[in-house]
Amino acid sequence: MKSNKLALAAVLLWVASVSVFAWFFIRGNTVPGSDNRTAVVLGASERDLVLREMRGLLSATHGILDGINRGDMKRVAQSSRSAGMGTAADINPALMAKLPLPFKQLGMGVHREMDELAAAAESGKPVAELQRMLAGALSKCVACHAAWQIKTGG
């Protein structure tokens, strides 16, 4: 009887722990923002990392457009790949836990689409197709910036 109670307590504790983790994984560390967006609250170094990644995406976009304009598909592929999933591989799990699920989905979607764009450039897809793919990736950037802001705090 005593072992049944202990087993039940262990299962309940496990369920509670998983539920709390799932709640934070989905919701992240957020508060209402000052401009009708949701603020993601990060430490200063975490905020710097996220913003540096966003600047990297912007720089890659410039490289892609410049490559398209010059007809340099090698540059298009290199710039795209520089913002692909490889750049998201080393993200700290504690930081990922603070990001809300829709934020993560948009961000990972952009990285995946950048890898797809690199492959398309390498395989000789037409410029119009590359531009369509870039516009699709950028729509995720626009959606993210419309919904979220990054703040520092506790």
Q: What is the pLDDT of residues 102-134, one digit of tens each?
A: 999 999 999 999 999 999 999 999 999 999 999
CATH of the domain at 95: 1.20.120
User: What are the two backbone dihedrals, phi and then psi, of residue 31, each rounded to the nearest 5 degrees?
Assistant: -140, 160
List beta partners, residue 40: 30, 150
Does the pTM exceed 0.75?
yes
In a domain, 17, yes or no: no
Is 79 part of any domain?
Answer: yes
Domain membership flag for residue 18: no
Q: Quote the pLDDT of residue 92.
A: 85
Tens digits of residue pLDDT in 52-110: 999 999 999 999 999 999 999 999 999 999 999 998 877 788 899 999 999 999 999 99
Residue 64 lies in a domain: yes
What single letter denotes the amino acid at residue 58?
A: L
Q: Can you give the residue range of the structural domain that contains 145?
A: 29-152
Within-domain flag for 83: yes
**Domain count of the chain?**
1
Query: Residue 1 falls within a domain, yes or no?
Result: no
Q: What contacts 24+ positions apart, CB below 8 Å, involve 131-137?
A: 131/68, 134/61, 134/64, 134/65, 137/109, 137/110, 137/113
pLDDT tens for each residue of 2-31:
777 776 666 666 655 555 555 555 668 999
